[in-house]
Amino acid sequence: GENVEQHPSTLSVQEGDSAVIKCTYSDSASNYFPWYKQELGKRPQLIIDIRSNVGEKKDQRIAVTLNKTAKHFSLHITETQPEDSAVYFCAASPGYSSASKIIFGSGTRLSIRP
Amino acid sequence: SAVISQKPSRDICQRGTSLTIQCQVDSQVTMMFWYRQQPGQSLTLIATANQGSEATYESGFVIDKFPISRPNLTFSTLTVSNMSPEDSSIYLCSVQPQGTDTQYFGPGTRLTVL
């Protein structure tokens, strides 16, 4: 089955700097890669996703890159702000046309230093 | 995205008892899932709630411990049976609208077993 590894487990960056979170996956059948943000005491919220036919996707200060050959994908947050402090989860799935099961990484706790 | 509610939002239970958690969504969805999130951990899929048939359980989770109902396309329940302190966790339902890859999460149920 699919296995998703996520690094680092904790990340502290100065406000205004960039943050990068990296994930690897094992199942070559995975073709959908969402990223969720979970603030303390709240539900996970989808912030961006990417499909295997795309190498990069950007939404304002957030971008995700995918290297399907190497089975790597990454989340990039630029110009970090205090409200970016949260736990971020990457995930992988074969997509809705298949089993649809999403497997989550272990999470990265991001702290933004003022 | 779908509007998802869960009841109860939290509960404190005695060991050996059972608790049923409800998940309601405001539109018909094909796929519904139940996850467990232990303190400080990632999300672990318990089972896929199938409408009109038995749920599909992940490795390590069994129907006798976590019976699931899915009577229609907008509602599901998860029961945590014969609880022990190790069952203390947050239980979340998620839905995946038809024809999409994306899962949206309910607000979660925080369960404490004494």
pLDDT digits (tens, 9 = 90+) for A10-64: 999 999 999 999 999 999 889 999 999 999 999 999 999 999 888 899 999 999 9
Neighbours of A76 (CB within 10 A): 17
Checking if the pLDDT of A99 tops 80, the result is no
For B17, residues 6+ apart whose C-beta sits below 8 A from its C-beta are: B82, B83
Nearest residue to B91 via CA among B9, B13, B4: B9
* A-chain residues near B42 (CB < 8 A): 89, 104-107
3-state secondary structure of A82: helix
| Alpha carbon of A36: minimum distance to chain B alpha carbons (Å) | 10
* B-chain residues near A34 (CB < 8 A): 101-103
| Alpha carbon of A69: minimum distance to chain B alpha carbons (Å) | 21
pLDDT at A95: 63
| Alpha carbon of A105: minimum distance to chain B alpha carbons (Å) | 7
pLDDT at A90: 98
* A-chain residues near B55 (CB < 8 A): none
CA B101 to chain CA centroid, nearest Å: 19
Give percent above pLDDT 70 in chain A: 95
